[in-house]
Copies of this chain bind each other. A is one copy, B any other.
Amino acid sequence: MRRDAPIFQPRDAGYAARVRASFERQRAMELIGARLLLVEPGFVEIELPYREDITQQHGYIHGGIVGMIADNAGGFAANSLVAAGASVLTVEYKLNLVAPAEGERLIARGEVIRPGRTLIVTRADVFAVKAERWNLCAVMQQTIMALPDKAERTA
């Protein structure tokens, strides 16, 4: 991650609770067992423990699952910067899988690169953690759209 990244000022002081509530409403995150570790302005961390039912044919965590948490890490990083009452939508993302997702758990770090009014560009890095060694296993670049007056469904 970019240690020299700009510090973003959230437009919604309640951003952390709002992002956490939005994450809770994603049934798909519950299905795979992902949880939101950290929410800061323009930055989030998602953790996914290894389970056999999320693997692919070589026994590693499925690349599509890696993509899910990378996509979400970027999306929630963007979400942390929009106004209260707004929501976000993934326009597109591009994911490189650079090493097998092998380990006890994955950590996805998403960060905002460019917070536009309508479009927010993010990047995410996903690490496979094995015996407390962090290995980069995927990198993502993403475009998010902010929807000014679109409320999320209530749980």
Knowing that A58-B152, A118-B145, A140-B141 are A-B contacts, what are 6 other residue pairs whose CB atoms are under 8 Å apart, sorted by A's residue number?
A3-B4, A28-B61, A64-B68, A67-B68, A98-B114, A114-B136
Which of A31, A53, A61, A152 has the most chain B CB within a 10 Å cutoff? Answer: A31
Query: Could you tell me the distance between the alpha carbons of A54 and B65 in the complex, rounded to whole angstroms?
Result: 12
Q: Are B98 and A121 in contact (CB under 8 A)?
A: yes
Interface of A is mostly: mixed
Instruction: Choose among B31, B53, B87, B94 the residue that contacts A92 (Cβ–Cβ < 8 A).
Output: B94
Q: Are B96 and A91 in contact (CB under 8 A)?
A: yes
Query: Could you tell me the distance between the alpha carbons of A130 and B54 in the complex, rounded to whole angstroms?
Result: 28
Tell me how far the C-beta of A3 lies from the nearest C-beta in chain B, rounded to whole angstroms: 5
Query: Could you tell me the distance between the alpha carbons of A67 and B55 in the complex, rounded to whole angstroms?
Result: 15
Query: Could you tell me the distance between the alpha carbons of A116 and B118 in the complex, rounded to whole angstroms?
Result: 15
Tell me how far the C-beta of A99 lies from the nearest C-beta in chain B, rounded to whole angstroms: 7
Q: A1-B4, A64-B71 are in contact. Are A30 and B53 (CB under 8 A)?
A: yes
**Is A97 interfacial (CB-CB < 8 Å)?**
yes
Q: Which residues of B contact A58 (CB under 8 A)?
A: 87, 152-153
